[in-house]
Copies of this chain bind each other. A is one copy, B any other.
């Protein structure tokens, strides 16, 4: 499936001719397999979601306390995003497309199905966070907002990650580990410094200069 040009230019900027050219063929071939451009897009979207599920579901079954499971899921997600960033860019586009755009009722229905799977995906992380809460291993945060923020921290790598600067699975693993460490443990130093006990960030806007 060479339909990953959607990633490079976006759905609207990508013409069927572009896809066909990259495939070394002409439009005829594509329209033989797909009735319309948007259904091709949906298919890529669907494949992207399946890749995410098959990466994260096993991770949700690891042994350990709540936060350990959540961290494993996040790392699996991060690895999947980096490895299949072409597909996952399309997924992200689909989410935005759902938010507005989709015109015909038929398209709307398919999009709803895809967004539904997206919601089930997020629910997996919420469930893991809830388990960690009961566990006592989750910090005192709003689970819904926290999960969106965690996933966002990882998914934003779709924007800045450049695969060509990648030397292979090892550097991807390093990236994934660092992202997850940042998100799970935070950037505030742990331990017995005075900063670690302050519960909320200061909001004074008094200036120095």
Contacts and interface: CB of A to CB of B under 8 A. Distances in A.
Nearest to A73: B201
Interface string A178-199: 1111111111111001011010
Interface in A44-81: 58-59, 61-65, 67-68, 70-72, 74-75
A195 B150 contact: no
A196 B63 CA distance: 17
Given A96-B10, A184-B188, A208-B61, A177 B149 contact: no
Interface residues of A, number: 77
A129 interface: yes
Contacts of A33: none
Given A139-B186, A152-B157, A153-B153, 12 more contacts: A8-B101, A58-B207, A62-B206, A92-B159, A99-B159, A136-B193, A150-B153, A152-B153, A152-B155, A177-B201, A184-B188, A186-B187
A148 interface: yes
Given A68-B202, A204-B62, A185 B188 contact: yes
